[in-house]
Amino acid sequence: MTQHKALVIGAGIGGLTAAAALRRAGLDVEIYERASELRAAGSGLSVMSNAITALAEAGLDLGLEHRGTPLTSYHVRTTRGRLIREFPFPDIIRKVGAPSVLITRSALQQALREAADGIPLTLGAAAEDFTTDTSTGRVRVRFADGREATGDVLVGADGFHSAVRRRLVGPEESQDSGYVVWLGLTPFSHPRFTPGSVTHYWGSGRRFGLVDMGGGLLYWWGTKNMPAERSHDWRGGKAEVAAAFAGWAGEVRQAIEVTPEDAILAVPSRDRPFLERWGRGPVTLLGDAAHPMLTSLGQGCGMAIEDAAVLARHLRGATDVPRALRAYEDERRERTRVMVAASRAISDFEQSENPVRRPVRDAYFRFLPRRRLVGTLEGGLTFPRPAAPATRTEEQPHAS
The string of DSSP codes covering 321-336 is HHHHHHHHHHHHHHHH
Q: Yes or no: say if 140 and 40 are a contact pair by the CB < 8 Å rule.
A: no
Alpha-carbon torsion angle 342, 41, 12, 167, nearest 10: 70
Amino acid type, 269? S
CA distance 73 to 93: 11
CA distance 98 to 75: 20
Please name the residues in contact with 153: beta carbons below 8 A apart, sequence gap of 6 or more.
Answer: 4, 5, 6, 7, 22, 27, 139, 282, 283, 284, 315, 321, 325
Exposure on the CB side of residue 78, measured as CA atoms within 13 A: 10
From residue 187, give the alpha-carbon distance in Å to each of 126, 259, 262, 371: 36, 8, 15, 37
Low-confidence ranges of the chain (pLDDT < 70): 1-2, 387-400
From residue 58, give the alpha-carbon distance in Å to each of 121, 156, 233, 341: 20, 19, 38, 26
The string of DSSP codes covering 119-136 is S-EESS--EEEEEE-TTT
Backbone CA torsion sign across 325, 328, 329, 330: positive
| Residue 399: per-residue pLDDT | 34
Crossing angle of helices 13-24/105-115, nearest 10°? Answer: 20
Backbone CA torsion sign across 302, 221, 42, 250: negative
**Residue range 257-278, pLDDT digits in tens:** 999 999 999 998 999 999 999 9
Q: Yes or no: say if 16 and 112 are a contact pair by the CB < 8 Å rule.
A: yes
Cross-strand pairs, 74? 198
Secondary structure in 3-state letters for 251-278: HHHHHHHHCCHHHCEEEEEEECCCCCCC
Strands 206-212 and 139-143: unpaired
Q: Which of 24, 11, 293, 310 is CA-nearest to residue 157?
A: 11
Report pTM: 0.94
CA distance 307 to 309: 6
Task: Give the chain's end-to-end CA distance (angstroms, integer).
Answer: 51
| Residue 393: per-residue pLDDT | 38
Alpha-carbon torsion angle 352, 293, 212, 259, nearest 10: -80
Q: Residue 128 burial (CB < 10 Å; 0-12/13-18/19+)?
A: middle
CA distance 285 to 288: 9
SS3 346: helix
